[in-house]
Amino acid sequence: MPGVPGEVDDTRGEFSSFMDLSETPDWNDVEACIKHLGGKGVPIDDAKCFNQAINCTELVTLLQWYYLPTMYGLEFCLGLLGNLVIILGYVFCLKEWKSTNVYLFNLAVSDLVFLCTLPRLVRSYANGWAETSPFLCVANRYILHVNLYSSILFMAWVSVDRFLLVRSHGRPHFLLRRDSAVAVSALTWVVVNAQVAPLLLFILRDMEQGNGTRCSDFAGLSADGALLPYSLVLTATGYILPMLVLCLSYAGIVCTLRAQEGAFKNRTSSSSSFRHPLHVVEATAAMFLVMYTPYHVMRNVYVGLQRLPGASFACVKSAYILTRPLAFAHSVVQPVLYFLMGEQFRELLLARLRSLFQEYGPRGASRSDV
């Protein structure tokens, strides 16, 4: 039994007798970890190496088999319904589009496309990660990350738009025009595709090494040390910079409201309308911190520690897996923000839904049969 002082040498000798130490062991495999430590003549600490490695590795397996498919499936069902309602509401209910509507529509489209990548991930994890179509693997991973980071950037533009609305109240600003928002949105898609394009090279190289039979997630790609610098750059440009833009917008709104607080002291309605953008940016900032920060931190830690032996690596991988559905849940939460953000859009959408229910509901159907 490992961990018993009188039996450590026998176990070590047994492991070293059938392991070729010239080969690099698979640190994801508990047995390989124990074999390597035993073959090197390092005493095996039952508590630290064996039990912890088994616990973390078993947790990784459970998370990949049950947690990820379940969470991705729920996010797909809930997010698909919410984003479809928002997109159809914009197309059929909103006649006069403002700059905010342009950004929110692009955000909803981005989330909807992102959600369409989740069913394949559910199938992949539920079937043991076997890959049958290399093209679909590459396309799915690329589309997922493009829409993840475009969603982050569009949320930053919404915050900037809210700041400009408060800052230039009563005075037109060229960035608040609809055509300006369309141009910024088009540029956003170009920039995000440029950011994510290098990921294609890593995915293709990883698939070549796996003979086209594996479809690894971002942090699981094999890139000979080049993946970590790219992950850090993508984190800085795709997450940290938009987060700074959002924080600056929030600070600008707060300063503007404080400066104008005296002017609107006796005008409750105006003061309330001015504070509405502040609540929007606050909610967006909270979503940024809660959903995206753990994912980006653990992704970079996971990539950086891939060569860490045995148990610690498996535990880091477990933590990284836990953060992924949390980050992807933005596509479920954001439709709620759209609904709460636009008062005019909310009223138009609810009015349209009421009219449809009256027309096609039980009473409407009974009247049509008369």
Q: What is the pLDDT of residue 176?
A: 87
pLDDT greater than 50 at residue 6: no
Tokens 């955000």 belong to 107
Q: Residue 314 and residue 358: Cα distance in Å, rounded? A: 56
pTM (two decimals): 0.76
CA dihedral 110, 114, 115, 121 (to 10 degrees): 180
**Three-state secondary-structure class, residue 263:** coil
Confidence of residue 344 (pLDDT cuts 50, 70, 90): low
DSSP per position, 225-257: T-HHHHHHHHHIIIIIHHHHHHHHHHHHHHHHH
Candidates 145, 131, 100; CA nearest to 281 is 100
DSSP per position, 129-188: TB-S-HHHHHHHHHHHHHHHHHHHHHHHHHHHHHHHHHHTTTS--GGGSHHHHHHHHHHH
Q: Residue 31 and residue 271: Cα distance in Å, rounded? A: 65
Cα Rg for the chain, rounded, in angstroms?
A: 26
Q: What is the pLDDT of residue 37?
A: 44
pLDDT 10s digits, 267-289 = 554 555 556 667 777 877 888 88
**Cα 158 to Cα 38, 116, 127, 274, distances in angstroms:** 57, 24, 39, 15
pLDDT 10s digits, 51-96 = 555 577 788 888 888 899 999 999 999 999 889 988 888 888 778 8
Q: What is the pLDDT of residue 313?
A: 75
DSSP state of 5: G
Mean pLDDT of 191-213: 88
Q: What is the pLDDT of residue 189?
A: 97
Mean pLDDT of 204-226: 80
H or E segment to which residue 343 belongs: helix 343-360
Amino acid at site 281: V
For residues 251 and 263, the answer to whether their CB atoms sit within 8 Å is no
Mean pLDDT of 121-138: 79
H or E segment to which residue 216 belongs: none
Confidence of residue 343 (pLDDT cuts 50, 70, 90): low
Candidates 301, 333, 329; CA nearest to 317 is 301
pLDDT greater than 60 at residue 109: yes
